[in-house]
Structure 1
Amino acid sequence: MTHAPLLFALSAALLVGALLTLGGAIVAADHPRWSDDLGIDRADLVPIAIGTAAFGLLIFIAAVSAILAAITGA
C-alpha cells in the first residue's frame, strides 16, 4: 500500500497551517483596519490574531515533520 492518502492528508494540513499563519500575521500587522471592519476592540484583536498565527505555525511544523517522517520511513 502506498502512502498517498497519508501524504494527501498531511499536505492538506500543511496548507491549512500556512493559511492560518498568513491570515493571523496579516490581521496582526494591519489590526487598526481589521478591528474597525470586524467591530472588535484593537486590544482584543491582536492577541487573537497572534494566537491564530502561532497555532497555524504549529500545525505547519507538525505537518512538515510528519511528511518528512513518512518519506524517509523513520
Structure 2
Amino acid sequence: MTLTTTLILMGASGALFAFSAWRSGRPWNPMKGPRLIPWTSLAILAGVFTLLLAVHVLNLFGIETGRGGF
C-alpha cells in the first residue's frame, strides 16, 4: 500500500474509533429500546486497525518494527 492510501485509511479508522468510543460512552436509554450496534466492539476493532496502520506507516519510512534477523 502506498503512503497516501495508508494515511487515508488511518484517518478514517481513527474517526470511526473516536465516533464509536463517544457512542459507547453515552448512557443507555431504555425508552428507545436495545442498542443494535455494538459500539464498544467497534471502538476496539477500529483502534487496533489504527495502530496496525501506524506500524505500517513506520515501516514505510524505513523504521523496522518487530523481530528481525532470525
TM-score (norm: length of structure 2): 0.73
C-alpha contact (below 8 Å) 1:17/1:57 kept by paired residues: yes
TM-score (norm: length of structure 1): 0.70
Decide which of 23, 48, 55 is 2:45's aligned counterpart: 55
Structure 1's consecutive aligned runs of 4 or more residues displaced over 2 angstroms after TM superposition are: none
| Structure that is richer in helix per residue | 1
Q: Which runs of 5+ in 1 are unaligned?
A: none
Decide which of 6, 13, 17 is 2:9's aligned counterpart: 13
The reply to whether residue 72 of structure 1 matches residue 62 of structure 2 is yes
1:20-39 residue pairs with structure 2 within 5 A? 20-32=16-28, 36=32
> What is the aligned length?
63
Identity over the aligned pairs, expressed in percent? 10
Q: Could you say which structure has the greater relative contact order, defined with CA pairs below 8 angstroms and 6 or more residues apart?
A: 1
Q: Which runs of 5+ in 2 are unaligned?
A: 65-70
State the SS of the aligned residue for 2:61. helix
Aligned-residue CA RMSD (Å):
2.3
Cα separation, 1, equivalents of 2:63 and 2:25: 39
